[in-house]
Amino acid sequence: MLDNRPLPAVGKCRPAPNVVAAAARLVKVNAIVHAHAGKETRPPPSEEPALHLAFVALGANLAEPMLQVQAAGAALAAQPDFRLLRLSSLYRTAPLGIHAQPDFIYAVAAIETSLQPAHLLEALFAIERQFGRQRNFRNSPRTLDLDLLLYDDLMLAEDHLCLPHPRMHLRAFVIAPLVEIAPDCRIPGRGYASAWLPALSQQRIEKLAR
């Protein structure tokens, strides 16, 4: 005979706490995966070094100075930390200070560089040494002279480096080629470079054919 008495109540089966926690984590992970489904995973962008615009004067009056200045332009273009943007025409000018020496050939280059000013100056000195530059005395004849004229809009006064170059606005052989390649160039603290040309009109300077 069947026993028709009701069965005793049985409590609900509850999962162990560690099983509940694991399930919750799985739900969270699934939600994250679903949210990013179909999206392309990209690596974080690498930081590129900041680039700066600088202007450099190139000059020589020894050892075939026209060839020296042209070769110096090529040396600037070959530097790993520079990118040569423009190189002006060549200009012939009389020497300053000591007149009993050959005329100078000058040009101005615009470069883009990641180097800071002091390191850029050292790189320019290294190129001068490659060309046999010797600093015997002020305004002496030279195989190559590289002067850092401008570095962005930076104004700097240190023992070995002043920016802008402190006498650039007084030199027709600097301002003329600078304005040729950068007509709207401003000299920090002195205004447009082109505005200085009338005051320099008495300085003898000859633009040479390329």
Report the CATH number that the domain containing residue 60 is assigned in CATH: 3.30.70.560
Tell me whether residue 16 is in a domain: no
Tell me whether residue 4 is in a domain: no
- Please give the distance of CA 156 from its chain centroid, rounded to a whole number: 17
Q: Of 83, 92, 133, 186, which one is the catalytic site residue?
A: 133
Query: Residue 56 and residue 52: Cα distance in Å, rounded?
Result: 13
Q: How many domains is the chain partitioned into structurally?
A: 1
Residue among 55, 84, 60 at smallest CA distance from 164: 55
**Which letter does DSSP use for residue 199 in this model?**
G
Tell me whether residue 37 is in a domain: no
Tell me whether residue 2 is in a domain: no
Task: Give the model confidence (pLDDT) of 14-73 as tens digits.
Answer: 545 554 455 555 555 455 545 544 555 555 556 778 999 999 999 999 889 999 999 999
Q: Taking a C-beta distance cutoff of 8 angstroms, is the pair 136, 148 a contact?
A: no
Tell me whether residue 9 is in a domain: no
Task: Give the model confidence (pLDDT) of 135-180 as tens digits.
Answer: 655 555 778 999 999 999 999 999 899 999 999 999 999 999 999 9
147 catalytic residue (yes or no): yes
Q: Of 103, 145, 159, 210, which one is the catalytic site residue?
A: 145
Tell me whether residue 141 is in a domain: yes
Whether omega before 188 lies within 30 degrees of 0, making that bond cis, reads no
Residues of the domain holding 102: 52-207
Tell me whether residue 32 is in a domain: no
Within 13 Å, how many C-alpha atoms sit on residue 202's CB side?
2
14 catalytic residue (yes or no): no
Tell me whether residue 26 is in a domain: no
